């Protein structure tokens, strides 16, 4: 199977979503607070070009479980 960058991006996105889901499910377990605490990262570019104006907000909530799942996804990609 030929590896390409889009497949790697897909693996990383799936890893982020899987990590976020697991963090959400384990949020109620007090002993795992260090894994489920998330840090928000927000990027909000905006432009007004007279003809077209746009406002875009990208928001990421990164937790330790998300980072672990992305590392696992990259490892799985490299094993293919």
**Contact partners, residue 60, CB within 8 Å, separation at least 6:** 16, 40, 41, 42
Q: What is the pLDDT of residue 46?
A: 93
| pLDDT band per the 50, 70, 90 thresholds, residue 14 | very high
In the chain, the largest separation of any two C-alpha atoms, in whole Å, equals 53
Sequence spans of domains, the chain: 5-79
Average pLDDT of the segment spanning 5-26: 91
Q: What is the pLDDT at residue 32?
A: 85
Name the band, by pLDDT with cuts 50, 70 and 90, for residue 1: low
* DSSP line for the chain: ----HHHHHHHHHHHHHHHHHHHHHGGG-GGGHHHH-EEEEEE--EEE-SS-EEE--EEEEEEHHHHHHHHHHHHHHHH-
Mean pLDDT of 11-31: 90
Once rounded to an integer, what is the mean pLDDT over residues 6-17? 92
């Amino acid at each position: 199977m030929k590896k390409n960058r889009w497949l790697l991006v897909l693996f990383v996105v799936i890893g982020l979503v899987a990590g976020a889901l697991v963090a959400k499910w384990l949020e109620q377990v007090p002993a795992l607070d260090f894994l489920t605490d998330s840090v928000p990262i927000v990027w909000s570019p905006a432009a007004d070009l007279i003809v077209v104006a746009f406002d875009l907000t990208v928001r990421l909530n990164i937790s330790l479980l998300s980072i672990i799942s992305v590392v696992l996804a990259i490892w799985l990609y490299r094993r293919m």
